[in-house]
Amino acid sequence: MTDKTILVTGTFDTKEEELNYLCARIRAQGGGVLTMDVSVLGDPSQPTDLTKHQVAEAGGSSIRMAIDSGDENIAMQIMARGAAALARRLYDDGRIDGVIVLGGTMGTDLALDLCAALPLGVPKYIVSTVSFSPLMPPERIPADVQMILWAGGLYGLNSVCKASLSQAAGAVLGAARAVERPTRDRPLIGMTSFGKTVLRYMVTLKPELERRGYEVAVFHATGMGGRAFESLAAEGAFAAVLDFAPQEVSNHLFGGLSAGEDRMTNAGRAGIPQIVAPGCYDLVDFVGWQATPPALAGRPTHAHNRLLTSAVLTAEERRRVARAICDKLAAATAPVVILLPKGGCNEWDRPGADLHDAEGLAAFCEAMELACPPNARLEPMAAHINDAEFCARTLALFDAWVEAGVIPRP
């Protein structure tokens, strides 16, 4: 008897020895295994539970078509589509409790699609020769994926790569046993923010919304946090969103820590009501231990820590951010209110603070007023985003939407 079953995926024609070792380590700990072969050209010495032919067919194609394409990139995309579809089907049928995918760049490309097909809370591990690499754009990285570097594992087993594989086996099985998946027993509110040194509204809003019976998840809007927020919004997981830190839109426009092109779009597409405010819209974050990007040179910056530095946008750049935010919100299919704090949108932008720019803030506010789409209501405020008045207005809007049935009651 086994308590949890893990889907083990990889190219069994070229990595059979390593994949079988991974399976053996999972079984040795009492776990169950389902194997899925995503090879194209060759065959494993022993059959897998899911063959390459089944994978290709699930992707709407066939192994013959993949081979005849004469292009390894096209072939692997066929297998990626099929692997993602089969993994989701196995999960929905209750046959797997977690997944682990082994590969180099080809296998990792496929692994990202497979893991993205599974809901948040399903343990998903990628053991890759390029784990943590900038090859992977943020928009392709699933919200809760775990990565382990496959050290010394490009070709064949050895004591170095066994250390990585055995840890990965224990990690995915342990996660499948330990995970507390989201329960959805209360309506979930999604909020974006940064830490309390720059944005503080969540300190007031989170307990107030919880007191009203809602669950509140606050997402750190530094690229991957926004990715997680958007993936849940796309699933329709939120009863409402308080998207108060859309800085990732600025980052995407100007080469910072992007959360992807679809930032600030998925809640609207899913029909989720949104209260929006432009927290930290005026900053672009870049990697602090690297040289300042040439496009951001010669302007005020704030070194938040050794990992992250923020550069201040010009007035014209802020106008561009305003138009981008409004364009994204224009496609929303549920109510949208935009709160516009004219007193400043981050703690470093108060009068007298290091990054304050009254002219830039005025330019942004003017552009927001001009670009606000007809489906959204813009509410200018004299307050700063970290003032009590901002939280009070947010709660008043939220309560009015609950009373009107726009947001479901707990």
Convert the pLDDT of each residue in 215-262 to its tens digit.
Answer: 999 999 988 889 889 989 998 999 999 999 999 999 999 988 888 899
Q: pLDDT tens digits for 386-404?
A: 999 999 999 999 999 999 9
* CA–CA gap between residue 339 and residue 322 (Å, rounded): 13
Neighbouring C-alpha atoms within 13 Å toward the C-beta of 64 = 0
Q: pLDDT tens digits for 328-385?
A: 999 999 999 999 999 999 999 998 888 999 999 999 999 999 999 999 999 999 999 9
Backbone angles phi, psi at 202, to 5 degrees: -65, -25
* CA–CA gap between residue 388 and residue 278 (Å, rounded): 16
Q: What are the beta bridge partners of residue 274?
A: 241, 336
Question: Residues 6 or more apart from 41 whose CB is under 8 A from it?
Answer: 13, 67
The answer to whether the Cα torsion of 309, 314, 320, 322 is positive or negative is positive
Residue-level pLDDT at 297: 85
Rg (CA), the chain: 24
Q: pLDDT tens digits for 177-188?
A: 999 887 788 999
Mean pLDDT across 126-147: 86
Question: Residues 6 or more apart from 85 whose CB is under 8 A from it?
Answer: 58, 59, 117
Q: Is the pLDDT of residue 21 over 90?
A: yes
Residue-level pLDDT at 2: 64
Q: pLDDT tens digits for 43-66?
A: 999 999 999 999 999 999 999 999
What is the number of residues in the chain? 410
| Residues of the chain above pLDDT 70, percent | 100
- Of 286, 189, 186, 244, the closest CA to residue 385 belongs to 244
Backbone angles phi, psi at 262, to 5 degrees: -90, 10
* CA–CA gap between residue 406 and residue 363 (Å, rounded): 32
* CA–CA gap between residue 370 and residue 202 (Å, rounded): 29
Q: Is the pLDDT of residue 307 over 60?
A: yes
Average pLDDT taken over every residue of the chain:
93
Angle, helices 159-178/16-28, rounded to nearest 10 degrees: 50
Residue-level pLDDT at 354: 86
User: Do 65 and 78 contact (CB within 8 A), yes or no?
Assistant: yes
Mean pLDDT across 273-284: 96
Q: Return the structure tokens found at 382.
A: 């004299």
Q: Which residues of 331-358 are buried (b: 16+ CB within 10 A; e: fewer)?
A: ebebbbbbbbbebbbbbbbbeeeebbbe
Task: Say how far residue 154 (Cα) sits from the centre of its chain.
Answer: 28
Q: pLDDT tens digits for 154-180?
A: 778 899 989 999 999 999 999 999 998
3-state secondary structure of 37: strand
Give the other-Cβ count within 10 Å of 279's Cβ. 28
Residue-level pLDDT at 294: 87
* CA–CA gap between residue 11 and residue 80 (Å, rounded): 12
- Of 143, 138, 90, the closest CA to residue 121 belongs to 143
145 CB burial (10 A radius; 0-12, 13-18, 19+): buried
C-alpha distances in angstroms, 191 versus 64, 157, 205, 238, 277?
47, 45, 10, 10, 11
* CA–CA gap between residue 273 and residue 245 (Å, rounded): 16
- Of 296, 300, 228, the closest CA to residue 262 belongs to 228
User: Do 161 and 151 contact (CB within 8 A), yes or no?
Assistant: yes
How many helices and strands, by DSSP H and E, does the chain display?
A: 13, 14
The answer to whether the Cα torsion of 79, 82, 86, 87 is positive or negative is positive
Q: Is the pLDDT of residue 1 over 60?
A: no
Residue-level pLDDT at 292: 84
Mean pLDDT across 109-134: 92
C-alpha distances in angstroms, 218 versus 192, 269, 372?
6, 21, 26
Residue-level pLDDT at 86: 98
Q: Is the pLDDT of residue 191 over 90?
A: yes
Domains of the chain: 5-178 (3.40.50.12020), 188-404 (3.40.50.12030)
Most confident region among 2-6, 114-118, 147-151 by mean pLDDT = 114-118
Give the other-Cβ count within 10 Å of 234's Cβ. 15
Residue-level pLDDT at 128: 92
* CA–CA gap between residue 327 and residue 319 (Å, rounded): 12
